[in-house]
Amino acid sequence: MFEKEDFRQIQSRIKPFIHETSVMFSQSLSDNLGNKLFIKPESLQKTGSFKIRGAASKVTSLGKQEINGLVTASSGNHGQAVAFMAKAYNIKATIVIPNTAPQAKIKAIRAYGAEIIMVGPKSSERIETAQRISQEMEYVYIPPYDDYEVLRGQGTIGLELIDWNHPIDKVFVPIGGGGLLSGIASCIKAFNPKIKVIGVEPKGSSCMYTSSKARERREISPDTIADGLRTVIPGELTFPIVQKYVDELVLVDEFEIKNAMKMIMERMKLIIEPSGAVSFAAMLKEEGKGLNLVSVISGGNLDIMKIQELLG
Ligand SMILES: Cc1ncc(COP(=O)(O)O)c(C=O)c1O
């Protein structure tokens, strides 16, 4: 299920739809902190987040003629990715998002031509709505994280890090439902089990951490500025993969997330969203000397005019 070859195949299948993102180094932060700090900016990915990898993986695994339309549940970024794929395939898409989603994400979904349905903020509510629409309209449901094609698509980030051919001690990855983390961890461990994979959640939205401690999936009530990580419960498929392949789960608080956003904007000249900054926030706390650390900056979609309010 998690063979090296599977990730290679998905990588070549999704190539026409994605960018291979670079790895960037911060000299000044590395000098200050004593480790070598790298980032993989998926904020510069097509659609502004890593989500296009999983969506492209799932959609390209289906025969074009099997698809009537696409439907999904998303905090915004996965919706953009599915809408992008629907446009590329010239088919219809319906995206179920929370009424709290940033305008930037809503506008981008509309710009790709998809229909939007807004529901309450709970992730389980939008997943139920999207699954019902899938049955009624006979649209293919593209899960945001709890699907092997989707999570292995996200795992191609791990493959690009392996192909980078540079020593890596630890990779830091944000967690929502766990698709990004389970994909990257299972890919990296298939190629090089010595690289440590660290999952990162906001303290105010720690369903994976809480569930891992309890050794079973637990529901939480998320409260964080990281809108992409407000997940109520880990995925059924992603939870056991995280238990098997992930070395450590770390929590960061809201101040640390804001500080990480500021640092990346100031020092690395990148626009990133709060969800994309949690991995960097954890990397900044890492103690050690001369370690090669990489944080996956998972997205950059936010309301530009609200940056000051967000960071205040
Ligand atoms: C920017 C960003 N980072 C991380 C995540 C979490 O991804 P996953 O649900 O696969 O854990 C999301 C989810 O929407 C996201 O939008």
The predicted-structure confidence for 123-170, as pLDDT tens digits, reads as follows 889 999 999 999 999 999 999 999 999 999 999 999 999 999 999 999
298 is catalytic: yes
Structure tokens at 67: 């698809």
Residues in the chain: 312
HEC profile of 279-297? HHHHHHCCCCCCCEEEEEE
Q: What atom in ligand 1 is closest to the CA of residue 154?
A: 10
Specify the pairing of strand 24-25 against strand 36-41.
antiparallel
Say what the pLDDT of residue 278 is: 98
Per-residue pLDDT for 70 more than 80?
A: yes
Residues 57-86 have a mean pLDDT of: 94
Nearest to 239 by CA among 178, 312, 289, 283: 178
Side chain identity at residue 71, one-letter code: V
Cβ–ligand 1 contact at 175 (below 6 Å):
yes
CB atoms within 10 A of CB 217: 17
Structure tokens at 1: 């299920």
Residue pair 56/85 in contact by the 8 Å Cβ criterion: yes
For residue 214, how far is its CA from the centre of ligand 1 (angstroms)? 23
pLDDT band per the 50, 70, 90 thresholds, residue 63: confident
Residues 258-269 have a mean pLDDT of: 95
Is domain 4-49+148-311 given the CATH code 3.40.1280.10 in the classification? Answer: no
Say what the pLDDT of residue 30 is: 94
Say what the pLDDT of residue 1 is: 62
Q: For residue 54, what are the contacts with CB-CB under 8 A and spacing of at least 6?
A: 78, 81, 145, 147, 149, 150, 151, 153, 154, 179, 183
- pTM of the prediction? 0.97
Pocket test for ligand 1, best of 43, 49, 124, 301 (most atoms within 8 A of CB): 49
pLDDT band per the 50, 70, 90 thresholds, residue 65: confident
**How large a percentage of the chain has pLDDT more than 70?**
100
pLDDT tens digits, 208-251: 999 999 999 999 999 999 999 999 999 999 999 999 999 999 99
User: What does the domain layout of the chain look like in residue ranges?
Assistant: 4-49+148-311, 51-141
Say what the pLDDT of residue 289 is: 86
4-49+148-311 with 51-141: one CATH topology? yes
Mean pLDDT (the chain) is 96
Residue 23 CA: distances (Å) to CA of 26, 133, 307: 10, 39, 25
How far apart, in whole angstroms, are the C-alpha atoms of residue 111 and residue 98?
A: 18
Helix or strand holding residue 226 (H, E) = none
Letter string b/e over residues 94-123, b meaning 16 or more CB atoms within 10 A of that residue's CB: bbbbbeebbebbbebbeebebbbeebebbb
How far apart, in whole angstroms, are the C-alpha atoms of residue 251 and residue 102?
A: 24
**Phi, psi values for residue 198, rounded to 5°:** -115, 125
Q: What atom in ligand 1 is closest to the CA of residue 273?
A: 1
Q: What atom in ligand 1 is closest to the CA of residue 42?
A: 1
Residue pair 249/208 in contact by the 8 Å Cβ criterion: yes
> What is the second-level CATH architecture of the domain 51-141?
3-Layer(aba) Sandwich (3.40)
- Residue of 51, 170, 189, 196 marked catalytic: 51
